[in-house]
Chain A
Amino acid sequence: KAGVTQTPRYLIKTRGQQVTLSCSPISGHRSVSWYQQTPGQGLQFLFEYFSETQRNKGNFPGRFSGRQFSNSRSEMNVSTLELGDSALYLCASSLYYGTGDYGYTFGSGTRLTVV
């Protein structure tokens, strides 16, 4: 079965612009989580969506937002980009909300560079 698909793989944006990243989970998975990875901060949780509802949110400013569609595909949006937003953005899908006894499957990530 197809894995988790993130698009685009690479992106270069200018400070002040906004960006939308997409994540298509494994077919049948209803939960999508987003993470930001930077060299200095490691992996940090952004938010998790399940059945089109945001279930949990990490400690990020309101410039970071997301949504999930009825087909479980998710998008995250970052407005008014800052240099510090340059990072690898990873999404992970799982069958249900929260991992519980179920694992995550990660996408390959979108590498965002803000110049």
Chain B
Amino acid sequence: KNEVEQSPQNLTAQEGEFITINCSYSVGISALHWLQQHPGGGIVSLFMLSSGKKKHGRLIATINIQEKHSSLHITASHPRDSAVYICAASDSNYQLIWGAGTKLIIKP
């Protein structure tokens, strides 16, 4: 069992739909990261959470420390949101443990 698990692995939705990507982890963490990777490889750090909820534009990230679970939500999804979304946990040694990623495709 991986220490950081994401679901779903693949997600296809229509433009405008509300998107939720889930991340569960089994290790103690200092922070939980959500990152976005576009075709071509560039990775952008979206959020870093240690508690509660953060919002940036149409993106919302939440974390429940007790349940060891985090979610990334995208409101009013757009084709340009199509990317791989990766959750990564910083363990107690501050090393990143990566989820496998969720490939999101938003159709116009």
Number of A-B contacts (CB under 8 A): 58
Interface size class of A (residues with CB under 8 A): 20 to 34
Tell yes or no: B66 within 8 A of A by CB: no
Residue interface bits A19-52, CB-to-B below 8 A is 1, else 0: 0000000000000010001000011110010000
Could you give 28 example pairs across A and B, Cβ below 8 Å? A42-B98, A43-B86, A56-B95, A88-B41, A90-B41, A90-B43, A97-B94, A98-B90, A98-B93, A98-B95, A99-B33, A99-B48, A99-B94, A100-B94, A101-B31, A101-B48, A101-B50, A103-B45, A103-B48, A104-B45, A105-B45, A106-B35, A106-B42, A106-B44, A107-B42, A108-B42, A109-B43, A111-B41
Binding site for B on A (CB under 8 A): 33, 37, 42-45, 48, 56, 88, 90, 92, 97-101, 103-109, 111
